[in-house]
Amino acid sequence: MAKRVSVVLSEDIYTLGKNGDLVDVAPGYARNYLLPTGKALAVTPAVLRQVEHRRAKEAERQAALKAEAVAFRTALDTIGRFTVKKQTGGDDVLFGTVTNVDVAEAIEAATKQSVDKRHINVPEVHRTGSYKVQVKLHPEVTAEINLEVVSH
């Protein structure tokens, strides 16, 4: 069996890993494809130091994003309740439903910060009333907000 060669990826490769990852590959793959095309670098002490420096910077960036998400969750908790106005028929039944886009607009109107609509989990809402909505602000930070659906 052939010996494996360690290389540092300089861009994301779907089958191997992400930019900056240290991976072991077959020597021919490294020599004939990865190194000549610039998709990887040979492992040297200088390259390893550079990779560790990038990882430290990325860890700092992720910590800052998490702190920002925690601060935004605190702001959402301070506001407490968000209101969405919808047209209703008899018995407070909505025409249509409340979507995550409606919730994102209500949050943006109240906080002046945008929230990705794909990260909002709205329960089935077909009547006016109060509902709990989950908003994922960061992979490790989730906020639960109170949503008041009213007739207009």
Tell me the pLDDT tens digit for each residue of 48-58: 898 899 889 99
Q: pLDDT value at position 85?
A: 92
The gap from C-alpha 39 to its chain's centroid, in whole angstroms, comes to: 26
Q: pLDDT value at position 20?
A: 87
Measured distance CA(150)–CA(87) in Å, rounded: 8
Q: pLDDT value at position 2?
A: 66
Q: pLDDT value at position 80?
A: 82
The parts of the chain modelled with pLDDT lower than 70 are 1-2
DSSP string for 93-139: BBSS---HHHHHHHHHHHHS----GGGEEPPP--BSEEEEEEEEEET
Measured distance CA(26)–CA(4) in Å, rounded: 5
Q: pLDDT value at position 152?
A: 83
Measured distance CA(16)–CA(55) in Å, rounded: 18
Q: pLDDT value at position 1?
A: 57
Structure tokens, 72: 């935004």
Domains of the chain listed by start with CATH number: 5-62 (3.40.5.10), 72-151 (3.10.430.100)
